[in-house]
Amino acid sequence: MPVSLKWSDVQEIALQLVDTHPQIDPRYLNFVDLHRWVLALPEFDDDPERGGEKVLEAIQAAWIEEAD
C-alpha cells in the first residue's frame, strides 16, 4: 500500500472506497460526494483541486469494477 495516496492511484483509491463504503452502489454516486470521500481517506494526500471530472470518472469506473 502506498505511504500516501495521490489522484493517480485510481485502483488503490477504489479499493479503499469499497472497504469504506460497502453499502454504496458507485454507479449512482455523484462526483461531489465521490470527491469528498476520496479526500476523507486517511492515506489521501494530494491537492484537492487536481481531482477533476476525468480522474473521478476513472475512480468511479474502478470502484464499479471492484464492487462487481
The pLDDT assigned to 3 comes to 77
Q: Could you give the percent of the chain with pLDDT greater than 90?
A: 93
Q: Residue 23: which CATH number?
A: 1.10.10.600
Whether 39 is in a domain gets the answer yes
Whether 1 is in a domain gets the answer no
The pLDDT assigned to 32 comes to 97
Answer for the pair 40, 9: CB distance below 8 angstroms, yes or no.
no
Angle made by CA atoms 58, 59, 60, in degrees to the nearest 5: 90
Q: Give pTM, 2 decimals.
A: 0.93
- Cα 47 to Cα 7, 12, 24, 37, 68: the distances in Å are 8, 17, 25, 14, 30
How much is the mean pLDDT over the chain?
94
For the chain, what is the domain count? Answer: 1
Which residues span the domain enclosing 37?
10-67
Whether 3 is in a domain gets the answer no
Whether 2 is in a domain gets the answer no
